[in-house]
A and B are shown apart, each in its own frame.
Chain A
Amino acid sequence: MAAKAQAEQAEKADQGDQAQAGEGVKITARGVNVWYGENHAIRDVNVDIDDKTVTAFIGPSGCGKSTFLRCLNRMNDTIEICRVEGRIEMDGQDIYAPEVDPVLLRARVGMVFQKPNPFPKSIYENVAYGPRIHGLAKNRAELDGIVEKSLRRAALWDEVKDRLSAPGTGLSGGQQQRLCIARAIATSPEVLLMDEPASALDPIATAQIEELIDELRAKFAVVIVTHSMQQAARVSQKTAFFHLGELVEYGETGQIFTNPRDPRTESYITGRIG
């Protein structure tokens, strides 16, 4: 019952947003449930994620934010015991349909992880990895172009343009994370998923990443998981609050933080659920 009411709320909130921003819905999730073996990690989640918008997932740790995020690019398929039910559509197409190849889906839905995980290869090779696998460049010049464009978009180009052949693992933490973002951008995805992308970084690197996320919104639908409510408030336009595997409340970020409808959201935001 409660879930249904929230779904309606979410839809209403969406319509308001669409009217205002003029952007369509990119991903629709309906009745999503996830189990890890016996552990029911996500319970009947309905949500619409807008294009060209930053959507933040917040909630206490262990509430299923990462799990739900991984449903959106089918990364959960790589976990043996994980079972996903429900319907998730991207541009109206069911991404769990049998004819959808998860490998191709992941090229369209890029992902950035909590801990920067550049490959032990050169900076250039890190960024070129996706385009090479998917055959996006016909020749070296094109590949060079993709690498440069991606690094520029990730606001890293100026810092590394003179040492593209240096190992990516030799960069600072913040630079590594931006390298991972560049790597994800290089396959020209439509959606970028970020799982606590700044939680392993210092405040300055965090600010750079946040600024970058705001710029990325122009091209992609960005979904960011964060445990920091200030971060959610700073970078996102829409916020979803998860609690114990349920999507408790979803709406405009401003509304969620100033005028939450659900008492659980309010308790979390005011620091009573941790």
Chain B
Amino acid sequence: MGAKLFLAVLALAAFAYVVARARASRAAGGAGAARFHSRPGQHGLYAALLVLISGWGLLFAAGLSSDILIEHLLESEILRLAPGLGAIERALVISDAEALATGAVSSSDDALRQQIAASFARWRFWQVWGLSALVLGAASFALLLALARIRPDFRARNRAERILRRGLGVMALIAVLTTIGIVLSLVFETFSFFANIGWRIDKFLFGTNWTPLSGVMEGRLDPDRVGALPLFAGTFLITLIAMLVAVPVGLFAAIYLSDFASPRTRAIVKPMLEILAGIPTVVYGFFAALTVAPLLREWGAALGLSVASESALAAGVVMGIMIIPFISSLSDDVINAVPQALRDGSYGLGATRAETVRFVVLPAALPGIVSAMLLGMSRAIGETMIVVMAAGQGANFTFNPLEAVTTVTVQIVMLITGDTEASTAAGPAFALGFTLFCITLLMNFAAQRIVSRFREAYD
């Protein structure tokens, strides 16, 4: 019913647009007519917007409140008929009754449910008609109001623009509020986790024993078992390996593409790099686990080194490959943003291409390159699939790249997908997530600051 009314209002708005425009253009075109402030289309737009706001707004408000009202009425009826029922059972009765009334399958159909279903159907009937009348009535009224307002001095354009501007503002607000909501819940849950371990934040940050779920007593966590240092170390180690792979390759690829490659080569290679960015990380993950890790193990064996079957090296190398296009594409952008005039100036002084790149282009692009690296690094820190498959699960405090390590993201996955009760497992997961969020936020912030300063220098 809601959807039909929604569409009806939309249709009415379209109608309002056509009618108001026609009327305005007739009024403006008449002999001796005063000069109109707004064009006919703007009167049409204003009428349509007015219809949409009043129709949809009322549909949303009245629909929601009548739903709540019906629920309330049904509950009080159940209380009257069967005073002994608890809140959960009452909710069950109501949902069964709704199912019975709409012909869907219900868990049982005793007399109480039948009766409630009958009242539900009655209320629903009134709701449908009442709502339809209210919404369509308001929309039609809005249409008439808008038509009545079509006068030469009516500022339909300004009004319509104001409405649109507010509508856009609301959309932006939704995005902002969602973000704030997520961050707040992260902060809140993290706080309750810290409260749970008796505010021993030091143990969380610097402890080396990570077995958070094995010491749980009546929902309380053992501060000695939530030491996340091995996770941070593992994340750091894998990120470091990834950057060691990605930065040289990505940066030199970008330099080659922007200053050495012919346009033909560039046209072929650049899209290829971008394809690399389009490979889902889960594919990289099993590539790391099934191809790279065994390969490293074999090579290690040939050299007399023992490489674990899940190693920081395998995960780091593959993660590095994953970030290459990210770094090369961003660096390529900033290198290309260095004005051609600077290169010409350098060539004109008898510098070679290599000298020009080294002494003019790279210094000028450096801030942008650094920020590309920071962004790539925050990608690496937050990356999950590759490490879940290739890095290992045991919280092993080591900096040896040939051993298995675990990361913050892997442990979050383990906590949430494990079979421990969600309310217990969520605490450490939220704390880890919050830490991760803070780190990547800081890095993105730094990167943005650097880039904006760079922009200022060249505009």
Binding site for B on A (CB under 8 A): 73, 75, 78, 80, 103-108, 110-111, 113, 115, 117-121, 129-130, 133-134, 169, 180, 183-184, 187
Does B360 make an interface contact (CB < 8 A)?
Answer: yes
Given A80-B262, A117-B341, A119-B345; A103-B363 close (CB under 8 Å): no
Residues of A within 8 A of B262 (CB): 80
Extra contacts, 19 of them, besides A104-B350, A110-B348, A113-B341 (Cβ < 8 A), are A73-B348, A78-B344, A78-B347, A106-B350, A108-B350, A111-B349, A113-B344, A113-B348, A117-B345, A119-B342, A120-B364, A129-B346, A130-B350, A130-B351, A133-B349, A133-B355, A133-B359, A187-B349, A187-B350
Instruction: Digitize B330-362: 1 where CB-to-A-CB distance is under 8 Å, 0 elsewhere.
Output: 000000000101101111111110010001100
Is B350 a contact partner of A180 (Cβ separation < 8 A)? no
Residues of B within 8 A of A118 (CB): 345
Is A117 a contact partner of B339 (Cβ separation < 8 A)? yes
* B263, B350, B352, B360: the one within 8 Å of A119 (CB): B360
**Nearest-CB distance from B454 to chain A (Å)?**
10
Output the nearest chain A residue to B458 by Cβ-Cβ distance.
A120
Given A115-B341, A120-B364; A106-B347 close (CB under 8 Å): yes
Is A106 a contact partner of B344 (Cβ separation < 8 A)? no
Give bound CA distance, A133 to B342, whole Å.
16
Give bound CA distance, A104 to B349, whole Å.
9
Given A119-B360, A120-B457, A133-B355; A184-B263 close (CB under 8 Å): no
Is B263 a contact partner of A80 (Cβ separation < 8 A)? yes
Is A134 a contact partner of B341 (Cβ separation < 8 A)? no
Give bound CA distance, A134 to B349, whole Å.
9
Is B345 a contact partner of A113 (Cβ separation < 8 A)? yes
Give bound CA distance, A108 to B350, whole Å.
8
Is B348 a contact partner of A106 (Cβ separation < 8 A)? yes
The 10 closest A-B pairs by CB, nearest first: A107-B350, A111-B348, A106-B350, A117-B341, A130-B349, A117-B345, A103-B350, A133-B351, A120-B364, A103-B352
Q: List 25 A-B contacts (CB under 8 A).
A: A73-B348, A75-B348, A78-B344, A78-B347, A103-B351, A105-B350, A106-B348, A107-B349, A107-B350, A111-B348, A113-B344, A113-B345, A113-B348, A115-B341, A117-B339, A117-B341, A118-B345, A119-B342, A120-B363, A133-B355, A134-B350, A169-B457, A184-B348, A184-B349, A187-B349
Residues of B within 8 A of A78 (CB): 344, 347
Give bound CA distance, A91 to B116, whole Å.
108
Residues of A within 8 A of B457 (CB): 120, 169
**Nearest-CB distance from B322 to chain A (Å)?**
33
Give bound CA distance, A157 to B368, whole Å.
33
Given A80-B262, A80-B263, A133-B355; A117-B342 close (CB under 8 Å): yes
**Nearest-CB distance from A226 to chain B (Å)?**
18
**Nearest-CB distance from A151 to chain B (Å)?**
16
Is B344 a contact partner of A75 (Cβ separation < 8 A)? yes
Give bound CA distance, A111 to B343, whole Å.
13
Q: Is the interface of B mostly helix, strand, loop or mixed?
A: helix
Residues of B within 8 A of A130 (CB): 349-351
Output the nearest chain B residue to A105 by Cβ-Cβ distance.
B350
Residues of B within 8 A of A110 (CB): 348-349
Residues of A within 8 A of B346 (CB): 119, 129
Residues of B within 8 A of A111 (CB): 348-349
Residues of B within 8 A of A134 (CB): 350
Residues of B within 8 A of A133 (CB): 349-351, 355, 359
Residues of B within 8 A of A120 (CB): 342, 363-364, 457
Output the nearest chain B residue to A114 by Cβ-Cβ distance.
B341
**Nearest-CB distance from B341 to chain A (Å)?**
4
Output the nearest chain B residue to A116 by Cβ-Cβ distance.
B341
Residues of A within 8 A of B344 (CB): 75, 78, 113, 117
Output the nearest chain A residue to B347 by Cβ-Cβ distance.
A78
Residues of A within 8 A of B359 (CB): 129, 133
Most buried by A among B339, B344, B457: B344
Give bound CA distance, A240 to B457, whole Å.
39
Residues of A within 8 A of B364 (CB): 119-120
**Nearest-CB distance from B339 to chain A (Å)?**
7
Most buried by B among A117, A118, A130: A117
Residues of B within 8 A of A80 (CB): 262-263
Give bound CA distance, A184 to B352, whole Å.
16
Most buried by B among A120, A169, A180: A120
Given A103-B351, A187-B350; A180-B363 close (CB under 8 Å): no
Give bound CA distance, A157 to B262, whole Å.
41
Give bound CA distance, A180 to B348, whole Å.
11
Give bound CA distance, A69 to B364, whole Å.
28
Give bound CA distance, A133 to B352, whole Å.
9
Give bound CA distance, A106 to B351, whole Å.
8
Residues of A within 8 A of B350 (CB): 103-108, 130, 133-134, 187
Give bound CA distance, A78 to B352, whole Å.
11
Give bound CA distance, A110 to B351, whole Å.
12
Residues of A within 8 A of B348 (CB): 73, 75, 106, 110-111, 113, 184
Give bound CA distance, A105 to B457, whole Å.
32
Give bound CA distance, A183 to B339, whole Å.
18
Residues of B within 8 A of A187 (CB): 349-350
Give bound CA distance, A10 to B262, whole Å.
40
